[in-house]
Structure 1
Amino acid sequence: MKRLVLAALLMAAPVQAEPLRLAAAGSLRAALSEVATAFAASPGGVPVTETYAPSGLLRQRIASGEGFDLFASANMAHPQALAETRRMPVVLFARNRLCALARPELEVTPQTLLARMLDPAIRLGTSTPRADPAGDYAFALFARAEAVRPGARAALEAKALTLTGGPDSARPPAGRDLYAWQFERGAADLFLTYCTNAVLALRADPRLQRVEVPEALAVFADYGMLLLEPRAEAARLALFILSPQGQMILDRHGFDAPGLPKER
């Protein structure tokens, strides 16, 4: 049904030459930049102007009237809040999960991750809740930790350093990876972020450690997409992201792509 709505827009909306305006979560930058390039080169495609920022801050900008054609969020809640006034469905197009990044010399494994996070000497970094879903997911992990070790939730929430994703968060120099830079400047010993961000951080600094979150603490992220304007090209871009070609790009960048056929 959701794809039929998008297809109907393709039939009804006039073709426009202006570039599409995409607002997307920062964790999607590498993947959707590749998607945008492929879409522009495809039949019926047009250039895409890309804006990447924390999803909660983008939601605020859209609600305040800033013009975008398509919103790709790192959660379902932000686009769903906007969808209430637009009569358009929110479409699940990708999934992610949390991993931990650790400074090179820190002794930590998946089995000791919770103990290391609780260690008073360890600086634990997260993104900013409400402004950035990555921060909300980190605090959801803290809630899961309560069932493993009573008192862990309050202790982790109290010590967490919200270093990224907020309107006033420090920004790295141009061309530097945001998460690798946190360790370079000595802001954190451990950092909870998306596994896709961990991949990029290790490319920037291979000395860093990626630590998988154990099953008891695991938190998964659903990514939702909302068409903001009834433009044929915007509907085409949304369908392109949902197509096997778009889903394969997301898969290559470490996302779980729900639109890919399952191996039999």
Structure 2
Amino acid sequence: MPNRNDDQTARIWARIASLTVAAMIVATPVRADTFKLMAAGSLRAAMIDLLQHFPRQSDTVDTPEFGSSGLLRQKIESGAAVDVFASADVEQPRKLAAGHPERSVILFARNSLCALSRPNLGLDQANFLDKLLDPAVRIATSTPGSDPLGTYSFEVFARAETLKAGARATLEAKAKKLVGGGEKTPPLVQGKGAIEGIFLSDAADLMLIYCSAIPAIQKEVPTLTSIKLPPAMAVEPVDGLIILDSKPVALRFVTFLMSEEGQAIVRSHGLEPIASVEPRRP
């Protein structure tokens, strides 16, 4: 039979040991972490701004990596060490969440599509579809599958089909996939952005692009004009992220992103914040 005094002594020592461990935890400084972010190229300016303002404490922030969301997702699946992945859509984070019940996809912003074109096209919402279908008008897109912008562009072509029979096939055949394919679609002009290079090299007359990107591109190529897509053909891109390593620094970054200050930063870069008390613009 076990001795009652022995049981009592064991309980006392167990209690002392637990209190000692608790004291050690309290007394030990929080370990500094290294934070790695991967994000869509369309989110570059917003994410750099957020990284500069979130409460990083003594943590180290690695140089963020930007690119086509689909290609970044493949890189993560191949073993790239990343703490948070922010995509220009929700499909790429959802693929990384599949089979991982501990992971959640978080929507943090919305975007919209615009048409960027040379001024001689005289593009407006009323003639938008006719201009797209004009055999003389060259259309550039990003690469569907590899880059959400390409997928969204092809969704616009699908909506065109509801307005004019045969439009989808015509537009998909015309579209020149000049960006978003990684090494398969190198910049057309060295030292310039991929989109700017398309127009500077005279490779296309019109391209569908995120409206949030227009100001930066027009700063480099001031002659380009832009319009919002007509409502019947508009799609609404949604930006989503996923936490791949729930270390404290990653949680702090995402919490800041969804905070009032973080969402104000999102808005300042031309995106529509999800967590906002202000009414959405029509």
> What amino acid is aligned across from residue 192 of structure 2 in structure 1?
R
Q: How far off its partner does 1:178 sit? A: 2.5
1:145 equivalent to 2:142? Answer: no
Are 1:65 and 2:75 an aligned pair? no
Give the one of 48, 72, 77 matched to 2:91.
77
- What is the CA-CA distance between 1:245 and the residue it aligns to? 1.2
Structural mapping, 1:1-264, within 5 Å = 15-39=30-54, 46-86=60-100, 87-167=102-182, 168-171=184-187, 176-262=192-278
Mark the runs of 5 or more structure 1 residues left unpaired by the alignment: 1-13
Q: Is the 8 A contact 1:126 1:192 kept in 2?
A: yes
Contact map agreement 1:145 1:152 (CA 8 A) in 2: yes
Query: What is the deviation of 1:75?
Result: 0.7
CA drift at 1:105: 2.4
Distance (whole Å) between structure 2 residues aligned to residue 93 and residue 142 of structure 1 = 26
Separation in 2, partners of 1:242, 1:28: 15
Contact 1:19/1:49 (<8 A) preserved = no
Q: How far apart are the structure 1 equivalents of 2:133 and 2:270?
A: 28
Q: Give the Cα separation in 2 of the matches to 1:102 and 1:35.
A: 31
Q: Whose relative contact order is higher, 1 or 2, with alpha carbons under 8 Å and at least 6 apart?
A: 1
240-249 or 128-137: bigger deviation: 240-249
C-alpha separation in 2, matches of 1:15 and 1:237: 16
- CA–CA distance in structure 2, aligned partners of residues 173 and 238 of structure 1: 35
Structure 2, unpaired ranges of 5+: 1-28
Encode CA deviations 1:140-175: one digit per residue, 9 max, x unaligned: 000000111111101001110111100211225665
Q: Is the 8 A contact 1:74 1:221 kept in 2?
A: yes
The amino acid of 1:171's aligned partner reads P
Runs (4+) off by over 4 Å = 42-46, 172-175
CA contact (8 A) 2:113 2:211 kept: yes
TM-score by length of structure 2 reads: 0.84
Letter paired with 2:181: G
In structure 2, the CA distance between the partners of 1:263 and 1:216, relative to structure 1 (3 Å rule), is closer
Distance 1:201 1:246, change over 3 A: same
Q: Secondary structure at the match of 1:121?
A: coil
Larger radius of gyration: 2
Q: What secondary structure, in the 3-state scheme, does the structure 2 residue paired with 1:229 have?
A: coil
Rate the CA distance shift 1:15–1:117 in 2: closer, same or farther, 3 A: farther
Aligned residues of 2:153 and 2:208 also touching (Cα < 8 A): yes
Q: Which moved more, 1:194-203 or 1:229-238?
A: 194-203
Cα distance in 2 between the residues matched to 1:18 and 1:102: 45
